[in-house]
Amino acid sequence: MNRRSLLIILIFLLVIASALLIAWLIYFVDGARSEIIAIKKGIAEIEKKEANIKKLEDLMASLLPEEQKISTAFVDSKNLVLFIEELESAARDAGIKLEISSAELSAADAEAYPKFQLSVEGSFGQNFRFLQLLETLSYQLEITDATFALRSMEGAGSYWQTRASISLLSFINK
């Protein structure tokens, strides 16, 4: 073998080694590029999720006043006293005397609503105003068996008495 053949073989081996190196670099760069693309997609998904979370937080914050209004429309056993206090407040606003003769809730029936038997005394307008005030309460009520009766007291004149049963339909039995 002369020098020229040796030089050709050496150049040939160098070309093959270079081609293998280039092929390996292309494979490596392609793999790295695929990883970079996957990472960019992951980052884009995370950014999208963060944007969605921010939008949901903003939506929740904007709905908070409405949620508070809705939650005040429902009564559970913990805040049933607040409902009775609102009945008393409505009676005071109407200028009449309120008497709650009974309050019952069936513990056996989970679907049962609290029922109140009440009577109010005052002028006809005051009694009617009390019923109107009940309608403006934030609770869903069912008024049944309402009777108006004109009563008289000796020496003091007459007054109207209204008796009614009220079911608290917006009660949550917890």
Over the chain, what HEC string results? CCHHHHHHHHHHHHHHHHHHHHHHHHHHHHHHHHHHHHHHHHHHHHHHHHHHHHHHHHHHHHHHHHHHHHHHCCECHHHHHHHHHHHHHHHHHHCCEEEEEEEECCCCCCCCCCEEEEEEEECHHHHHHHHHHHHHCCCCEEEEEEEEEEEEECCCEEEEEEEEEEEECCECCC
Q: Which of 150, 95, 94, 90 is nearest to 116 (CA)?
A: 90
pLDDT digits (tens, 9 = 90+) for 16-55: 988 888 888 888 888 888 888 999 999 999 999 999 999 9
- The reported pLDDT for the residue numbered 139 is 85
- The reported pLDDT for the residue numbered 120 is 93
> Which residue type, as a one-letter code, is found at position 170?
S
Whether the CB-CB separation of 97 and 121 falls below 8 Å is answered with yes
pLDDT digits (tens, 9 = 90+) for 49-79: 999 999 999 999 998 888 887 777 788 878 8
Average model confidence (pLDDT) across the chain: 86
Start-to-end CA distance of the chain, whole Å, equals: 100
Tokens of 75: 């009564």
Better-predicted residue by pLDDT, 54 or 156? 54
Q: Which whole number is the average pLDDT over 115-138?
A: 91
In angstroms, the CA 118 to CA 122 distance is 14
